[in-house]
């Protein structure tokens, strides 16, 4: 493991350089803390110096800052008061000192190394630093009166900023060959953010295609995080409380992949027999058997994060089901009720089911569809899933804040 001695979330040299060039992000100014940005390694360049690498405790503190202070700025009345359950809680594996949690997000976070008293508002940040090197500068203005409302930031702005800074955290993690529980915690939070963030943007991930993803894309980052996280789980004898959840997420993300299924079947029995893995394996088994009705029914009942992981496969599952129905029920005098078909396709209304049937070349008459295999049309694989499918996933959030979901607050399955 390489030496890492940067005491702050952003190296002093980078902070001064970006501040002098007026390149500090507005979220860094708003929170009063600069965070190291991701930079592509130059070909042939030397390895980063120890004073440019953040040690594990600083990396974990950076992740906590991004999730607990930056992500909530996209929520209504960000920084004034989060929804119940949006607390940072115990932050298992983060290594926070007693009393260093954010708590109920009153905007009064104790700041390590500063000696802040309870009730010290975040808005008094002018020139104050979390740790050496974290401050943005004395020109940051103090916030308005305590409790004053703050307009939420646009989620695309927050999403792109947090994605870049989390990528920088993982870059430092890899540079110093960090493993074990700290690496697992960083990767788990990164994966929840990457899986859910795209759907919160309203831009669902593209359907899986038999080609390599572009370097730096969300899909490439998700695959890299899964690869490193599953490798971390397999090393040493540490017990990871979230291992079953993320092994299941990996299988759902690569649904219908022989390699992913093979990996899942090699897991220890206590992981393989967990409720999360049993559900994921059941969906994979139903897909392998061609039982698309059972597969979609199980997908529809998944909790929010699991639904985000499997979302990119839903359109493909619907295509396969309609192809099977167009062959199995192909008859000029046969009519299939649209409302019953909507339930099977995991969509909310018969109108949505009718639209899917028309896109597959099937004839819709009133409240029923006449399946004909001769008229079946394979839809364009590049067409994005219908917006109604996105709504079926986002409704499972059930009012939980984005920050609490990324932190791993459990939510029950949906039975609809």
Q: Which helix (H) or strand (E) holds 363?
A: strand 363-365
Q: What is the C-alpha to C-alpha distance for residues 356 and 311, in angstroms, rounded to an integer?
A: 17
A 10 A CB-CB count for 275 gives 11
284: three-class secondary structure by DSSP: helix
Least confidently predicted of 15-24, 103-112, 133-142, 382-391: 103-112
Q: What is the C-alpha to C-alpha distance for residues 231 and 308, in angstroms, rounded to an integer?
A: 22
Q: What is the pLDDT of residues 109-126, one digit of tens each?
A: 333 333 333 333 333 333
Quote the pTM value.
0.80
Q: What is the pLDDT of residues 353-381, one digit of tens each?
A: 998 999 899 999 989 999 999 899 887 76
Q: What is the pLDDT of residues 53-72, one digit of tens each?
A: 999 999 999 999 999 999 99
Q: What is the C-alpha to C-alpha distance for residues 157 and 172, in angstroms, rounded to an integer?
A: 23
- What pLDDT is stored for residue 3 in this prediction? 83
Q: What is the pLDDT of residues 264-323, one digit of tens each?
A: 999 999 999 999 999 999 999 999 999 999 999 999 899 999 999 999 898 889 999 999
Q: What is the pLDDT of residues 167-217, one digit of tens each?
A: 999 999 999 999 999 999 999 999 999 999 988 988 766 666 545 567 778
If 0-12 CB within 10 Å is exposed, 13-18 middle and 19+ buried, where does residue 63 land? buried
- 364 bridge partner residues: 369
Q: What is the pLDDT of residues 147-174, one digit of tens each?
A: 334 578 999 999 999 999 999 999 999 9
> Could you give all domains of the chain from N- to C-terminal order, each with its CATH number?
12-41+48-174 (no CATH), 188-407 (1.25.40.990)
């Amino acid at each position: 493991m390489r030496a890492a001695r940067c005491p702050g979330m952003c190296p002093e040299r980078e902070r001064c350089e970006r501040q002098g060039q007026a390149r500090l992000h507005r979220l860094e100014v708003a929170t009063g803390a600069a965070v190291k940005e991701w930079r592509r390694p130059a070909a042939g360049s030397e390895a980063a110096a120890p004073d440019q690498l953040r040690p594990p405790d600083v990396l974990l503190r950076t992740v906590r800052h991004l999730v607990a202070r930056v992500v909530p700025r996209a929520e209504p009345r960000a920084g004034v008061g989060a929804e119940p359950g949006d607390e940072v809680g115990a932050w298992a594996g983060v290594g926070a000192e007693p009393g260093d949690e954010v708590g109920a997000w009153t905007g009064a976070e104790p700041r390590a190394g500063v000696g802040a008293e309870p009730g010290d508002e975040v808005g008094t940040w002018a020139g104050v630093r979390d740790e050496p090197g974290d401050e943005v500068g004395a020109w940051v203005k103090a916030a308005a009166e305590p409790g004053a409302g703050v307009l939420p930031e646009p989620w695309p702005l927050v999403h792109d900023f947090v994605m870049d800074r989390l990528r920088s955290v993982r870059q430092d993690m890899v540079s110093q060959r960090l493993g074990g529980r700290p690496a697992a915690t960083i990767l788990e939070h990164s994966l929840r953010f990457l899986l859910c963030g795209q759907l919160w943007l309203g831009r669902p991930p593209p359907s899986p295609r038999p080609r390599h993803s572009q370097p730096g894309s969300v899909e490439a980052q998700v695959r890299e995080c899964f690869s490193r996280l599953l490798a971390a789980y397999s090393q040493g004898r540490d017990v990871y409380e979230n291992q079953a959840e993320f092994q299941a997420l990996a299988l759902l993300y690569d649904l219908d992949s022989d390699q992913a299924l093979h990996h899942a079947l090699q897991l220890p029995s206590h992981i393989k027999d967990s409720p999360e893995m049993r559900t994921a394996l059941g969906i994979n088994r139903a897909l392998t058997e061609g039982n698309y009705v059972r597969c979609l029914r199980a997908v529809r009942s998944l909790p929010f994060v699991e639904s985000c992981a499997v979302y990119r496969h839903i359109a493909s599952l619907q295509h396969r089901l309609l192809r099977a129905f167009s062959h199995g029920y192909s008859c000029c005098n046969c009519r299939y009720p649209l409302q019953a078909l909507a339930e099977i396709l995991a969509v909310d209304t018969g109108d949505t089911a009718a639209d899917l049937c028309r896109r597959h070349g099937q004839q819709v008459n009133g409240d029923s569809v006449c399946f004909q295999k001769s008229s079946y049309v394979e839809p364009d694989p590049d067409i994005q899933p219908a917006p109604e499918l996105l709504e079926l996933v986002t409704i499972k959030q059930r009012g939980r804040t984005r920050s609490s979901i990324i932190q791993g607050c459990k939510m029950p399955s949906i039975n609809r």
